Chains A and B, each alone.
Chain A
Amino acid sequence: MAKLILQDVAGIIILAGGLLVVAVVIFLIITSNKGQDHSSDKNKFFGTKDRYFWASVLVVVCILFLSMSLLPNRRNRDKADEVVTVVGVQWDWLMAVGQSNQKPDEFIGKNEISVPVNKTIKFIVTSSDVTHSFAIYNKSGVLLTQIQAMPQYKNELEYIFTEKGKYTILCLEYCGLAHPFMAGTIHVN
């Protein structure tokens, strides 16, 4: 059985929520013809409102607590095994190993790069023109992680590639005409 990825889990939860809403709508339509004393129905529902409120707060707090531990962008700070500088430019990705102090429009890099497997790679990402989004996909087309590439700012993204192979970089922030063709490659050895 294929392992569920985060997108699948989110999808199942959202679709389940959608089906619940549909079920409530169908329930309301079906039961609408059964007349009862209106005030007792209203009181019955409003009587459960407080319980519903506190139940909602409890569920929200639990989910928040659990999900905060999955915060991706604050882990492994300053513990990178390798640093890669990335500059997004209309419409290409320029990459080089090591931290560069050059200005983005003077930076020299390549569209393909190799990094080691099972090591923490820190990508320092910026742009020389407009805002792009540096998004890493595996060979199955699953989005693994992403970060904005913004002019005048540097964003840092840490990632550990656990499988060898070829990874594709796509731009996910609309950046102009050739946005759908702005791609790069990471080889993980």
Chain B
Amino acid sequence: MAITKRQAAELAKQTFEYAPAPEAIDHVRIQPRYGLFIGGKMVEPHSKKRFPTINPATEQKLSEVAEADAVDVGRAVSAAGTAFTSWSRMAPSRRARYLFRISRLIQERARELAVVETMDGGKPIKESRDVDVPLSAAHFFYYAGWADKLEWAFPNRRPRPLGVAGQVIPWNFPLLMLAWKIAPALAAGNTVVLKPAETTPLSALLFAEICQQAELPAGVVNIITGAGKTGSLLVSHPGVKKVAFTGSTEVGKLIQRALAGSGKRLTLELGGKAANIVFEDAPLDQAVEGIVNGIYFNQGHVCCAGSRLLVQESIAKPLLEKLKQRLSTLRLGDPLDKNTDIGAINSKAQLEKIQRLVDSGIEEGAEIYQPECKLPERGYWFPPTVFTNVSQSYRIAREEIFGPVLSVLTFRTPAEAVEKANNTPYGLSAGVWTDKGSRILWMAERMRAGVVWANTFNRFDPTSPFGGYKESGYGREGGVHGLLPYLELV
């Protein structure tokens, strides 16, 4: 099958076009319709209603999931309440054993989970494969280790579980957010009712199968699907003792209002408008990577995304040149392709929101830059976008866009950087890029943000607490701090 000389000459002329490298999906079985996971079994919803969940990269329907109504929510909470009696009294080392089992099952079924996460949510397979799924397993491993050490975690205090936790999670990291919520709750001896987001319910339903495989006692984990209405029924149910919510600041405020006076414990993980601050002595090429990772990771659907780039004016020009060149190498397209860097926007509604805010940026006078980038015809897509000439007062510098859109602002001195970075209603994360160690500490002391990354961005670890200041919410997830919201210390 030797190729001819002419073909060889042709080869020499071509450029490096990466051939499609799609992840196989034939090993994944998505059922045509799903029920609710209540009391250890998949049950038909009382509501008899179902809604479709689609693949945002193709707009094709993947499955139909149940829409839980008040009766369904009541059944789930009551199943969790019943299970709480035995689960909370179980020897902690036995609870740990279930959690370890779950983490191992997540690892065993990693490929399947990654593919489902990518198909249902639109994120690139390299992210679900290398970030979402391994971190989810790590979270269960980590909190499994705490289960039998709770008595020693808080000196002179005796930790007691709270009861049924009602947990509502977002669509940007469906499985990972599930792990962040369920692992500490179970380790501490609580039982849970979890509602995944309506656009990305499939990995949670796959997780229900994993609970069955792990032979987790019935009712310890219950998963109900539905939209905002279902979530509101869940958090306001009287049987729920603790509410954990990750999502928008808008909804977070509604929940806080609804729960006022109910005596329920509440933690909120809300929006962000993080500053990624690059000083003139920063390692520029790595800073560019950090900026890209900060805002284009998961299409910018990240609450701690570095959506505001604060760059010292003296290096703004070379840095932006480098950034623009780097953007031209980002590969947007089929999320299942192993070489894809930017996948699909999660939903039509989100795409419209991004478009609206980008329009406002143009209208307010910011300069837009988008690399040449062919968008697929079907599905929801948005090219990586950079706004320069942005003022602190523009909407794109104030509001959370939750898309691949970066606003660039400049500063002159460290003090000005601190002032601008903190001048936001949010306070979830920040990034500092400098070669000077002392400046990192100086900045970290002054940032009003729950996480400050130094010379890196969007780095997560189960041992490290994560959470917000101000309108980014309260309570911490991860680390020993992540146990506190699920414990009463007596």
| Chains A and B are bound partners | no
Residues of A within 8 A of B (CB): none
Residues of B within 8 A of A (CB): none
